[in-house]
Each structure stands twice: as structure tokens, then as C-alpha cells.
């Protein structure tokens, strides 16, 4: 979806609003973006997979391969968006692998968990293999290089996420917000940023435009991750405390303000029998500090940088849709 929207973003008329003015909710923003792109963004749509009309169109498009027909440029745009989603989904499936060593008898039969792990590995590999095959069919060396490097970044980022500090058996990493941003770029932002850049390469735009597309993808996805990390601290719809990662942005920023030792002490005080963490107690401690407000400020900072990158594109309906995505991930109660 992002690539198709960015390519459309170089045409038409429209404008950007101020970030502080807010925007529509996420579901509405995605729905509007899908209408501009012209098809549902999920490759898992059964209507698309089973539609005879789409199958006939695909057969006709295949006949154009090798003819250099202009329609193929549009098909390659859409293909890149699907490739990006396939890669993203493949890694989500791989992340569903269960650590057998941490399972308890109440979690279910061990053989079922082992079978589930095998299915997760095979399914993720199947999606990734299909994505790589489609990537090669784009016949653009630079695009292949960009997306391949993004896959490498994803692997490195997930490795960092899963390699936890063993010091004092702590549940949190000893990293600052700068290191957190580096890790988030690898595991969340690199794929979108480089896909946006690749979309501009396929559309034969200048290096400057490619860089602006990269900057938009990078900073928008950083805002999205910060928005996601902040939800347990800003949601008001439920009285139940949401579990959150102790390596999320608000927690990392809280640690920077109060100090590593004080943060570890708060974690120990919130641990009960069996090292079960009382997240409500930790949540209150983080809210009492500057971690939440600092994370909101950082989210909006990245949002502003994404909007600044969009300003380099001519006004259009697609540019407005991309801007609305930024507004949606930077609005808080």
C-alpha cells in the first residue's frame, strides 16, 4: 500500500495540516488509503484470491511480460507492495515460534507445541520464498538490493530483541533511547523505509525523491512503534492493566530519567511469588515519572519529520492519505 500511495503522491492536488490538529482514527485512515490504492491491502483477501475477474486480468498481464507495455509499470508498483507485506507477514509468523524450554505442563502437550513451531517455520519460509521470487521478477537490481538489505535488517533486529541481558536475571535491557531507536529501525522501520525508497526507484524518480520516501517510511514507522508502546499507558477504555514490555519506549525513557539502579529496584519491588510482575505497580511508577510524556513527545517529533518529508512531494489525494496515517499514530487521548 505504501509504495502505491507514494507513487500517486507525485500527482494531484491537496495539502497537509498541522500535526497538533489531530486526525481520524487508524481504521478510518487505512480504509481511505485502500480506496486510493484501489484494492484491499491484505494479500490474504479471499475475495481477491478467488475472483475469476482478477485471475483473468492476471493472465492478460502475464502476456505483456517482455513487451515493455506501460501497464507493466503499474503492475510492478503493486507487486512491490505485496512483496513488502509478504515479508512482513513471514517475519510475524516466524515470531510465533514458542520457546519450548519456558513451557509448563498447563500450556498443553509438548508435541503440539513442537508441531506448531514446525508449521510456523515452514509457513514463514514459504511466504519469504514467494516474496523473494516475486522480487527477482521485478528485474531491478537496486530494488532487489534494497529489499534484500531490509530482510537482513529484520533478522538483525529480531536477534537483538531476543538476546536479553543475563545480568541479575533482569527482565529489562540496559540500553538508552538511542540504542532503542537503532534496534527499532532494524526490526520495524527498515522494511517500510526501504520499500518506500524502492517504490520511487521503480517509478524512475530522482535520488532526492527516493531519499524523501525513505525518510517518510522511517519516521512514520518509528511514530507507529512509539504509539504502540504507549497504548498501555494512555488507554482509558479498560480498567484492567495491560501487560507491556519492560523494554518499550516509555520504560526505557523512564530508566534514563530515574537511573538504572532505581529502575531495577522498582522492578524487584513489583515482582511477587514466582517472579510474576505486578504491571499495575510498574505502570504507576512510569506514569509518575517523565517516561510517558517524553515518549509522546518523541512520537510527535518523528511524526513531524515524516510530514516534512511529505512536503517535498506535490500536493495530491495520496499525499493527504499518507499524512493522515501520521496524524493517526500521533494522536493521544
Residues 29 and 330: beta-carbon distance below 8 Å: no
Q: Is 16 helix (H, G, I), strand (E, B) or coil?
A: coil
Which residue is associated with the grid cell 525523491?
209
Residue 9: predicted pLDDT: 60
Residue 124: predicted pLDDT: 81
Cell readout for 192 is 517500510
Which parts of 65-189 fold into alpha helices (H)? 71-94, 110-137, 141-162, 177-184
Over residues 272-284, mean pLDDT = 82
For 36, the enclosing helix (H) or strand (E) is helix 26-37
Highest mean pLDDT: which range of 90-94, 159-163, 225-229, 243-247: 225-229
Cα R_g (the chain), whole angstroms: 22
pLDDT bucket at 311, cuts 50 / 70 / 90: very high
CA angle 98, 181, 254 (to 5 degrees): 90
The set of residues, in sequence order, having a beta carbon less than 8 Å from that of 252 and lying 6+ positions away, is 175, 176, 177, 180, 291
Q: What is each CA distance from 206 to 213, 220, 246, 323, in whole angstroms?
A: 11, 21, 42, 22
Residue 185: predicted pLDDT: 95
Q: What proportion of the chain, given as a percentage, has pLDDT over 90?
A: 35
Residues 229 and 248: beta-carbon distance below 8 Å: yes
Which parts of 235-278 fold into alpha helices (H)? 249-258, 260-270
Please check the confidence at residue 133 and state whether its pLDDT lies above 80.
yes
pLDDT bucket at 305, cuts 50 / 70 / 90: very high
Name the DSSP class of 277: B
Kindly tell me the burial class for residue 116, based on how many C-beta atoms sit within 10 Å of its own C-beta (0-12, 13-18, 19 or more): middle
pLDDT bucket at 307, cuts 50 / 70 / 90: very high
pLDDT bucket at 117, cuts 50 / 70 / 90: confident
Over residues 24-29, mean pLDDT = 77
Residue 167: predicted pLDDT: 42
Over residues 296-311, mean pLDDT = 95
Please check the confidence at residue 45 and state whether its pLDDT lies above 50.
no
Residues 314 and 264: beta-carbon distance below 8 Å: no
Please check the confidence at residue 166 and state whether its pLDDT lies above 50.
no
Residue 136: predicted pLDDT: 87
- Tell me which of 99-103, 200-204, 291-295 is least confident: 99-103
Residues 255 and 301: beta-carbon distance below 8 Å: no
Query: Distance (Å, rounded) from C-alpha 294 to C-alpha 230?
Result: 10
Range 179-187 contact pairs with CB under 8 angstroms and sequence separation of 24 or more: 180/247, 180/249, 180/252, 181/222, 183/157, 184/157, 184/222, 184/225, 185/153, 185/157, 185/218, 185/222, 186/153, 186/154, 186/156, 186/157, 186/160, 187/153, 187/154, 187/157, 187/158, 187/160, 187/161
Residue 3: predicted pLDDT: 64
Mean pLDDT of the chain: 79
Residue 146: predicted pLDDT: 93
Residues 324 and 16: beta-carbon distance below 8 Å: no
Residue 26: predicted pLDDT: 74
Query: Distance (Å, rounded) from C-alpha 187 to C-alpha 151?
Result: 9
Cell readout for 105 is 505442563
Q: Is 69 helix (H, G, I), strand (E, B) or coil?
A: coil
- pTM across the whole model: 0.78
Q: Between helices 207-234 and 190-202, what is the axis angle to 10°?
A: 150
Amino acid at each position: 500500500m505504501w509504495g502505491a500511495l507514494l507513487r500517486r503522491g507525485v500527482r494531484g492536488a491537496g495539502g497537509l495540516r498541522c500535526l497538533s490538529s489531530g486526525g481520524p482514527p487508524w481504521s478510518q485512515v487505512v480504509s481511505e488509503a485502500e480506496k486510493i490504492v484501489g484494492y484491499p491491502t491484505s494479500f490474504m483477501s479471499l475475495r481477491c484470491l478467488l475472483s475469476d475477474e482478477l485471475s483473468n486480468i492476471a493472465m492478460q498481464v502475464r502476456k505483456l511480460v517482455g513487451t515493455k507495455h506501460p501497464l507493466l509499470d503499474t503492475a510492478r508498483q503493486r507487486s512491490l507492495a505485496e512483496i513488502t507485506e509478504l515479508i512482513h507477514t513471514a517475519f510475524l509468523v516466524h515470531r510465533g515460534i514458542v520457546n519450548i524450554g519456558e513451557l509448563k505442563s498447563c500450556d498443553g502437550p509438548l508435541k503440539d507445541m513442537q508441531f506448531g513451531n514446525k508449521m510456523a517455520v515452514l509457513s514463514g519460509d514459504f511466504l519469504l520464498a514467494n516474496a523473494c521470487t516475486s522480487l527477482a521478477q521485478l528485474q531491478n537490481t537496486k530494488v532487489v538490493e534494497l529489499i534484500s538489505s531490509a530482510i537482513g535488517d529484520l533478522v538483525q533486529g529480531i536477534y537483538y530483541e531476543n538476546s536479553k541481558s543475563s545480568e541479575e536475571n533482569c527482565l529489562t535491557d540496559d540500553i538508552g533511547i538511542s540504542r532503542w531507536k537503532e534496534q527499532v529501525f532494524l526490526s520495524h522501520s527498515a522494511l517500510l523505509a526501504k520499500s518506500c525508497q524502492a517504490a520511487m526507484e521503480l517509478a524512475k524518480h530522482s535520488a532526492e525523491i527516493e531519499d524523501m520516501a525513505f525518510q517518510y517510511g522511517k519516521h512514520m514507522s518509528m511514530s507507529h512503534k512509539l504509539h504502540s508502546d504507549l497504548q498501555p499507558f494512555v488507554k482509558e477504555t479498560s480498567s484492567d492493566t495491560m501487560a507491556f514490555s519492560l523494554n518499550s519506549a516509555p520504560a526505557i525513557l523512564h530508566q534514563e530519567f530515574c537511573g538504572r539502579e532505581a529502575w531495577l529496584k522498582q522492578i524487584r519491588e513489583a515482582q511477587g511469588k514466582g517472579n510474576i510482575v505486578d504491571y499495575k505497580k510498574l505502570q504507576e511508577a512510569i506514569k509518575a515519572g517523565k517516561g510517558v510524556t517524553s515518549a509522546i513527545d518523541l512520537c510527535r517529533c518523528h511524526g513531524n519529520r515524516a510530514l516534512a518529508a511529505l512536503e517535498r512531494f506535490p500536493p495530491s489525494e495520496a499525499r493527504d492519505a499518507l499524512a493522515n496515517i501520521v496524524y493517526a499514530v500521533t494522536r493521544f487521548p
